[in-house]
Amino acid sequence: MTTSTNRRSNVITLVRTLDVAGTPPDPTELKRIAQAAQSLELSMRHALVVVLGSISVAWSIALLVEMLGDTDYGVRWAAAERLARRTGDPFVQDWLTEELASWDKSSGFARSLKMQERLLWIAPSHVSSLSSPELSAGHLWEKVHANSEALVPGSLGSESSLAQGIKLAALAGVGVDTALVRTMIQDSRFWFARVELLQAIALLPPNVRRDARDVLRDARHDRHPLVRAAARLTARVPPGGDWRPWLWVNERRTLTDGASRLSSVSLLLIADVLTLLNLYLAGDQTVRDSAGALEHLPPCLSRSDARGHLDALDCAVGCTFGLCPYPLSGDYWSRGRFPESFAQRVREAVAKVGAPPWYEGSSESYARFWDSPRRS
């Protein structure tokens, strides 16, 4: 029996110790179980989410909700994927309603941002079964956009969380309002939110996607180079066909099991998307917000003469981002460190298609960042 199989068996045993047939654990017990799960190694927490997603009882859904608070971004996203598919579930509906009511009442800045991430990831998949109009994707966008326009700290992250929630809804086959997506792409201040929304459009059924083809066309002229690149790739997805060479479900998962499915040009895009998202973690929330709103790339991601600053002590002369050097440790929002297997695929992609169009310099200078053993 392999190590991974042993881990999965251990997780299944852990889940089966709960009283599935009898009275479900109370909320306090569920929190205790979730906290105990946090002490498991990362692979086992992922396995726990998979097992919970396969069990159709109320306590498993409640525990998945608790797993949305995991310290690892990938575990949180995996739990969100499974909850997005539980459309019509009364527990999820009640939880979403309570989460919305707690949004403005939450104590502490960090807690508020974490609460928004959970709510905005899940709500779009449950719009059709929710009685509260305040949980519609349109109403949530009004709330998020108002915060963004007012420059509320962390509001750019809320833009991307809602965009990711709409992408999850598209993956789950839930109806998506293309008019709302069009508005969000036009008004979002965060480039990453626009990337996720474009990918959501590509995942829609052909007849629905047809209504948004002008959005895909116009996005090729977006203000941000990575959004323009995403628009070109999204346009290559055949309606109703295989999207896996051109899109990713979740950028964190691509690090471990999704890179092999991506085309070379798509792999270079996700590599720099991940690099930039992780670079933001080098600054405090004010720096993250100001850098995220910029519509160009930092010199270290766009010019060969500044590439070395990713490993230097400070930014290139004239850089307005203030993020270098690349952080070698992550926090709650980190997409994770790059395993050598991912870096190797990036190097192979560069050898095959050259440096990406948003980079001014040689393929060799672009690939040098991916040679560093400190990435993994």
Residue 375, pLDDT score? 52
Residue 8, pLDDT score? 52
Is the model's pLDDT at 322 over the cut of 50? yes
Is the model's pLDDT at 124 over the cut of 50? yes
Mind listing the pLDDT tens digit for each residue in 236-269? Answer: 999 889 999 999 988 888 887 768 889 999 999 9
| Among 113-117, 129-133, 343-347, the range of highest mean pLDDT | 343-347
The CA distances from residue 28 to 24, 33, 92, 147, in Å, are 11, 9, 18, 33
Mind listing the pLDDT tens digit for each residue in 153-198? Answer: 999 999 999 999 999 999 988 888 999 999 999 999 999 999 999 9
Percent of the chain residues topping a pLDDT of 90 = 44
Which alpha helices (H) appear in the chain, and where do they start and end? 3-16, 27-38, 42-53, 58-67, 73-84, 90-103, 109-122, 137-149, 155-171, 178-187, 191-202, 206-209, 213-219, 225-234, 251-253, 264-279, 285-292, 299-302, 340-353, 363-368
Residue 13, pLDDT score? 60
Average pLDDT, the chain: 85
Residue 46, pLDDT score? 86
